[in-house]
Structure 1
Amino acid sequence: MRLPSALRALIVSLVALAALWITPASALADTPGDFDFYVLSLSWSPTYCQDRGRSDRIQCGGPRPFAFVVHGLWPQYERGSPRNCDAGPRSGLPRRLVDSMLDIMPSPSLVRHEWRTHGSCSGLEPVDYFELTRQANEAVRIPDKFVDVTDYLTVSPNEVEAAFIAANPGLRRDAIAVSCDSRRLKEVRICMTRDLRFRACAEVDRKACRNNRLTMPPVR
């Protein structure tokens, strides 16, 4: 039996309303500029390059050795994070802008990926987002012991966090987290306010590496 058009319209409306109730809040909230804080992710380049070999020619096969490099500046919610926001036309980043970031993010594909996945959610224009990324990187002092690593280091996540805390006044344990694989240090993640002050981030801290000992491959 064919339903009256008014009844069909009512059913469609109820189905749409039900979908809103069951859709995760994070999926509905990925709007540029709508987030709570940033995470500055610093990648230990020698670990990355052990996995990639020389396929990433600038970061892993070029003349300059890299230690900690910027993985990205990520907008975050208190729980979860926005990704791939609708930031208008996606004609690609200007080559000049990409090249300007290679001293701290030594991979053109990474620069483009970070804008598409994370920067698009910042509410900023690309040039402003990457300028903020550079400012965030400059706001964090890398501990001296991790600047010129010429041999394998064995460390614990707590030791790495303590070194960063000692080098950066105002940084606390609940604002920093170490990321690892089964045996190697991969990243240090530091939580920051929109104006780049250190701040606590419970969810990021909970996801930190729990291994007792980690290896840091040397800078080549």
Structure 2
Amino acid sequence: MSLTKLFAAVCLALVAVLAHADCVDPKDTYESYNVVADPTQDRPSEFYVLSYSWAPSYCAQKGGQRRPGQKDYLQCGGKAHFGYILHGLWPQGSVVKPNDYPRACGGDQPKIDRALLAKYFCMTPSVWLLQHEFENHGTCMIDQHLRTPEAYFDKALTLHNALHLPSRQMTNEAQGKAWFVLHNPQLPEDSVYFDREAKEWRICYDRDFAPFACPRPGEQPGGQSGNGDANACPVKGNISAKHRKLYFEPSHPTYASVVIDFSKGERCFDNVEQALAAGWKKAP
């Protein structure tokens, strides 16, 4: 290794150590974070999601700053100020049925050492949330080698550190997706979406942790949501037998019969502009 590369590596390591130190607060003494895991729901998993929440909104819902020793003190009352934080790294279900996801695959887990968790406070500033995420999601990682607390959180931290996150809250999906793609060239446009119910930004990765187009939660093949709402897929992106990428608006006479198969690369677009930008053409 050249001296220049060695110096750069040392500098990056020093920055990581200093950032870690900035997120540790000696007043954060909450200890009752080893709650019972959710009931086991072991399922096959084909991809992952990183989910980000806006810390100030969460803290506002809790009614102001937390006091030392309370569950949310580090996130809401400590010396560090957080914006978007990692809610979790979640193994998902199949590409065509993402809502059928695994959970708590190892059952209830022992309490994780706080000294180990401190390494991840800048990413997820809550011992309770870190414990919860490992028990309910880390124990279900596709790669068996990632089913220990340190391996699971290290993988999440690697993905987290590779992202540039907004410094302000974003709730408009089109604007937010444009921001993420502009500032994170490694992300395909449809690898990012905004979950309106949870008010969280989510990024999809395949089983090898490469970002890919998200199978949208709540949608079944064909663009229909679980409750049969046709508006779940405003514009259907279908790939024909001749490999032509065509989009269908609700006004198209065959719109209702068009079936979307995410596993084949077919898409569900929010609007025509999005379909055109992705290189799809209007169905004749």
TM-score normalised by the chain length of structure 2: 0.54
Which residue is 1:176 aligned to? 192
Q: Alpha carbon RMSD of aligned pairs, Å?
A: 2.7
Distance 1:204 1:154, change over 3 A: closer
Distance 1:95 1:155, change over 3 A: closer
Candidates 56, 61, 67, aligned match of 1:51: 61
Q: How many residues align?
A: 170
**1:138 aligned onto 2:161:** yes
Following superposition, the deviation at residue 64 of structure 1 comes to 1.1
The answer (yes or no) to whether the contact 2:206–2:212 under 8 Å persists in 1 is: yes
CA–CA separation in structure 2 for the residues paired with 1:180 and 1:76: 18
CA–CA separation in structure 1 for the residues paired with 2:53 and 2:206: 20
Which residue is 1:62 aligned to? 78
What is the letter of the counterpart of residue 174 of structure 2? N
Which residue is 1:30 aligned to? 42
Which residue is 1:4 aligned to? none
User: Taking every aligned residue pair, what percent have the same amino acid on both sides?
Assistant: 34
Distance 1:196 1:205, change over 3 A: farther
Q: Summarize deviations over 1:29-83 as a string: whole Å, max 9, x none.
A: 715xx41111011111111111123341110111111011111000011222111
CA–CA separation in structure 2 for the residues paired with 1:60 and 1:40: 22
Q: Summarize deviations over 1:133-176 as a string: whole Å, max 9, x none.
A: 1011012222xxx32x4xxx675221011100111113223211
The answer (yes or no) to whether the contact 1:37–1:76 under 8 Å persists in 2 is: yes
Candidates 198, 203, 207, aligned match of 1:194: 207
Candidates 64, 85, 107, aligned match of 2:105: 85
CA–CA separation in structure 2 for the residues paired with 1:70 and 1:30: 23
For structure 1, which runs of at least 5 residues remain unmatched after alignment? Answer: 1-26, 211-220
CA–CA separation in structure 1 for the residues paired with 2:178 and 2:104: 33
Higher helix share: 1
CA–CA separation in structure 2 for the residues paired with 1:41 and 1:154: 14
For structure 2, which runs of at least 5 residues remain unmatched after alignment? Answer: 1-38, 67-71, 220-224, 226-231, 235-284
The answer (yes or no) to whether the contact 1:191–1:200 under 8 Å persists in 2 is: yes
The answer (yes or no) to whether the contact 1:177–1:189 under 8 Å persists in 2 is: yes
What is the letter of the counterpart of residue 192 of structure 2? I
CA–CA separation in structure 2 for the residues paired with 1:205 and 1:193: 19
